[in-house]
Amino acid sequence: MPWVEEVILGGTFDHLHPGHRALLEAAKSFGSFVRVGLTTDEFAKSLRRSDPNIELMQSYKTREKKLNEYLIFRNFERFEIVKIDHRYGFALTAEQAEGIVVTEETYPTAVDINKLRALEGLDQFLILVIPFVYDESGIIISSRRIRQQLAE
């Protein structure tokens, strides 16, 4: 039984991998309705200026298609994918949402979001932090590493 009615999360979801799937599955168990913020190409690239393989990032359209296919395949009953083009996406205006799912890396952003929501008189989110997923070598699975491997 989910803890909240609506839960949100956001990301680039480039080359959808086990870390992304863990985040999405946590959201499914946390909320009845899952709203996923998906970064636009421009915003995603602006976050990764130092990535020498950024040209290997999948397009928004491809990332959205793969994400949608995964959510349907995993029987997410109620979900929505929303474009985000800045750090907080729709989190500061999501009045119905009660929870947010983040990684250890993005936890500070969720804390900032809750502070800003409080200033606006909105309820703060329950924050669910998901640990990183590691490969068989003990290295964190990431889209950046996948792009690096594709380039090699």
Q: What is the CATH number of the domain that holds 43?
A: 3.40.50.620
In which domain, by residue range, is 94 found? Answer: 4-151
Asked whether the beta carbons of 144 and 51 are under 8 A apart, the reply is yes
Which DSSP string do the residues of 52-100 spell out, in sequence order? TTGGGSPPHHHHHHHHHHHHHHTT-SSEEEEEE-STTTTTTT-SS--EE
Among 17, 22, 24, 21, CA closest to 58: 17
Statement: residue 1 has pLDDT above 70: no
Instruction: Provide the mean pLDDT of the chain.
Output: 94
Number of domains in the chain: 1
pLDDT at 134: 96
pLDDT at 2: 66
Statement: residue 91 has pLDDT above 60: yes
Separation CA 56–CA 144 (nearest Å): 9
Q: What are phi and psi of 23, to 5 degrees?
A: -65, -45
Please state the rounded mean pLDDT for residues 95-123. Answer: 96
